[in-house]
Structure 1
Amino acid sequence: MTDAQTTLQELKERMAQFVRERDWEQYHTPKNLSMSIAIEAAELMEHFQWLTVEQSKNLSPEALQDIGEELADIVIYSLSLSNFLGLDLSEVVLAKMEKNIRKYPKDKVRGKAHKYTYYQDRNQESGDRGQDKSEP
């Protein structure tokens, strides 16, 4: 199955079944799952820790396999956490994307990598909350 063939709901259901069949609901609490996501994210970062930017863009098939497994662990724990909390991942992801669209207007941030507060600070300094006067 590919991304194009699989829904988030199907993944969530498979994760719930996996956990249920192993009687792991007792361990899959928000605290434990959020910690597991952070731990797996750190394990993902380990694969890139000492690489140059260029090396990180040109990974071997073996490295991609290992990185894919770490990324899968993050997604798996995220699915389980969303199951526990009753969150609809599509809803929360799309809502967050809409929020990010507002926080990072494309005409202001294109090609820039500042945190959204940078643009708020610029607006306040210029006395205009709508548009940054120092930007072209």
Structure 2
Amino acid sequence: MTSPLTQLGALAALQHDAAMAELARHNRALQILEHRISGLRQRRHTCPPAGSEDAVPLTLTSGHYDRWQRWVDQELTKLNAELACARARRDPLVQAARLAFGRNSATETLIRKEKQAMREKAQKRLEQSILQDQLAKNPLSF
């Protein structure tokens, strides 16, 4: 059977790992959104390739390119809104990770102190038993 402090330490470690995993997952989602936005921004103003050097691209004259640019603008607006919401949701996750880290550190410190106290008690018991054995063997020595 483990001590309650050890069980508390295990629970704090699990909560810390869960909070850090959630924060890492959220950060990865932010990176994906930022990458998608960056990719669309780079492709937004690229002109479609022309068939020959003198010819005007068919997509420019038919209006497809304008329609595509409007779609890109709408998609960028939507992705930027998602990114803003995701960044707003990140703050509570960071706070939860900080809190879990603090709890985990505190319980680790308490466990370390408890183990040190147990070692010191065992050392004192050993010294007392050695002293008792020496006194039992030679009762006249002080």
TM-score of the superposed pair, with normalisation by structure 2: 0.31
Greater C-alpha Rg: 2
TM-score of the superposed pair, with normalisation by structure 1: 0.32
Report 1 or 2 for greater relative contact order, CA contacts < 8 Å, sequence distance ≥ 6: 2
- Larger helix share, 1 or 2: 2
